[in-house]
Amino acid sequence: MISDLVTSSVENYIGEEDAREDWNMVGLKDHFLGWILAPEDLEFSEEELSNVTKAEIIETIENKAKEIYAAKEEEYGSDVVRELERVVLLKVVDTKWMAHIDDMDELKKGISLRAYGQKNPVIEYRYEGFEMFDAMVESIREDTVRMLLTVKLQKNAMPEREQVQKPDAPNAGSGDGSFTENARSKKVGDNDPCPCGSGKKYKKCCKNK
């Protein structure tokens, strides 16, 4: 993730090797300043900048990030850092995925208006949905790396996993379609959401189980 993040970020801020006058080195440095780069990093004279390659810039930033991560692993121990990776990634994915679902719902509500612009709403929905998914993946990658490089832990404290999205129904998301007797005993309408948390209507899910 570190390597992919650094490479994509460098590509965003600096372009072709033969168009150095368009390189946004200030923007690139500001993007990583404080969590990977220090103020003295990526400082080049005009002569140095004319000779440095994009690959060397990527390598410099990537090595800085890996040095920070190695120091964190040495400080906390590999077992703690491995668990920290799981905790952070699960939390970030959970948060970003729920936000993505909400964004897709909003897109669906307004996509029919594209027909007024002589555009096929189905094609537009599919195209924008893919773009939004790619943006979510990039956001997950950056937020995960940023959190792992900047997180502070108490000494000898193991990271704890937490559930970002709380289920609205008993056993929601359990995957087995079951729910408690307490939930079953409550009157559920045929068109109400099924208490198992599947998202389907009760009459089309657990009513006949």
Over the stretch 90-112, which tens digit does the pLDDT of each residue have? Answer: 999 999 999 999 999 999 888 88
User: Residue 94 gets which letter from DSSP?
Assistant: H
Flag the least confident range among 39-43, 112-116, 188-192: 188-192
Task: Name residue, tokens 């943006």.
Answer: 135
**Cα separation of 56 and 183, whole Å?**
60
Flag the least confident range among 13-17, 133-137, 151-155, 203-207: 203-207
- Structure confidence at residue 209 as a pLDDT band (50, 70, 90): low
Q: Helices 2-13 and 25-32, interaxial angle, to 10°? A: 150
Task: Name residue, tokens 């004319």.
Answer: 50
**Cα separation of 172 and 180, whole Å?**
11
Q: Where are the alpha helices (DSSP H) in 42-192?
A: 46-51, 54-76, 78-110, 121-150, 181-185
User: Residue 117 gets which letter from DSSP?
Assistant: G
Q: Which helix (H) or strand (E) holds 3?
A: helix 2-13
**CB-neighbour burial class of residue 125 (10 A; exposed 0-12, middle 13-18, buried 19+):** middle
Report the first-to-last Cα separation within the chain, whole angstroms.
44
pTM over 0.85: no
Interval 12-20 mean pLDDT? 84
Region of residue 173 (phi > 0: left; psi between -120 and 50: alpha; otherwise: beta)? left
User: Does the pLDDT at position 176 exceed 80?
Assistant: no
Average pLDDT in the chain: 82
